[in-house]
Structure 1
Amino acid sequence: MAHIDRNDGTLGRLHRAWMPVEDLANLVAAFAIMGLMCLGVAQIVLRSVFNSPLPGYIDLVELSMASMAFLGAAYCQRLGSHIRMELLIGKLSGRGLWAAEIFGTLVALTIIGVLAWYGFEHFLRSYTLGDTTMDAEYPVWPSKLLVPIAFSIWFVRLSLQLWGSVRLFLDPSKAPVAVVTMKDVAEQAQDEIHEVMGDEADAPEATR
């Protein structure tokens, strides 16, 4: 969760402008999870009570996986909720820390960029061929389109994180903006409270 400082320049403004996009994508993923749970309940009821399973249930589950798996990735990246190997990073400070963050972010940018590119090609192929699911023959391309969209949102977040890391590498005395930083248990708990209460904009800087 990045530092909210109204004097943090262009990076801070871009960071704040991109947050609603990530929030919306994560909200869509949350609704997809809730919808899948409701779908599962309906499947159980229809099969148990009426002995009539929901048509295309397996196909709908498969189509929903992309939204649940990828749309929340950029949101998690911003909050630092993703899994990080901090055994080494936790021992670094100053320019050494931000050099390691720059390296890791560049690797992530490369991977996500490649996945977004080829994900879009898979979407185009599916859309052109009219690809459908095996059973109910639902169109597959909407699900495949979510993959490059999610990765593109994630790519922008990583780009902002890279910018913030380079900024701190050049001048470690500056306030962290749009970067992942480690926190102790008390700070992490406080951030989670802010997130649940919906007042992230007033929360202190940094992500774990």
Structure 2
Amino acid sequence: MTAVSKYYKFLIDAMAIVAGATLVWLMVSVVISVVMRNLGLQPFAWLFTSSEYGLLYMTMLGAPWLVREKGHVHIELVTSAIPDGPRRIVSRLVALACVLVCVILAWKGLELFLKNIERGDYDTRAYYYPRWLLTITFPLSFGLMAAEFMRFVVGSELMHTGEAGIHE
């Protein structure tokens, strides 16, 4: 494994770990909010805002890892009914369509990120939070998802197994 591929794998894994930790934070913040409300207290404003940010970070940072592990949602019902040869073609075409969508979203996300930096935008609810810290996740995550989907387009592994049903 080359140094670049090791760094790339480390990056995807680190993002997934941050996404998992964010999921734990979401659970903790909801429990704290509920307990505070039941005690007649007003939950901290930053608690709700951090949960909102956490939903974005968790989703965007975990998505490339899910693509790599084929953990994203897709339906095998159609591909299981297609013979092996055509299924390989369909699977690669679907992966290519996913690459194209992710590249477009990464590009638009990059434009938004750069605009946020240029204008010095802040999200001003519970505290001043630079908006670029939110929008940086779009080009990063969609770019990495495009790379992961591209592995299914040109690599030996297919995105679709051709087996319908639950396989856990």
* Amino acid paired to 1:59: T
Distance 1:50 1:63 in 2: 25
**1:115-194 matches, cutoff 5 A:** 115-136=105-126, 137-164=128-155, 177-182=156-161, 188-189=167-168
* Amino acid paired to 1:98: R
Unaligned runs of 5+ in 2: none
Change over 3 Å in CA distance of 1:86–1:15 after alignment to 2 = farther
Change over 3 Å in CA distance of 1:96–1:188 after alignment to 2 = same
Distance 2:97 2:151 in 1: 14
Q: Give TM-score, length-normalised by structure 1.
A: 0.68
CA offset at residue 59 of structure 1? 2.3
Change over 3 Å in CA distance of 1:20–1:184 after alignment to 2 = farther
Change over 3 Å in CA distance of 1:25–1:61 after alignment to 2 = same
Aligned to 1:71: 61
What percent identity do the matched residue pairs reach? 22
Distance 1:43 1:138 in 2: 21
- Compare relative contact order (CA 8 Å, sep 6+) and give the higher one, 1 or 2: 1
* Amino acid paired to 2:58: M
Aligned to 1:198: none
CA-to-aligned-CA distance 1:71-91 (integer Å, 9 cap, x gap): 222222222222223222112
Aligned to 1:93: 83
Change over 3 Å in CA distance of 1:14–1:130 after alignment to 2 = closer
Unaligned runs of 5+ in 1: 1-5, 165-176, 190-208
Conservation of the 8 A alpha-carbon contact between 2:36 and 2:42: yes
Distance 1:14 1:184 in 2: 33
The count of residues paired between Structure 1 and Structure 2 equals 167
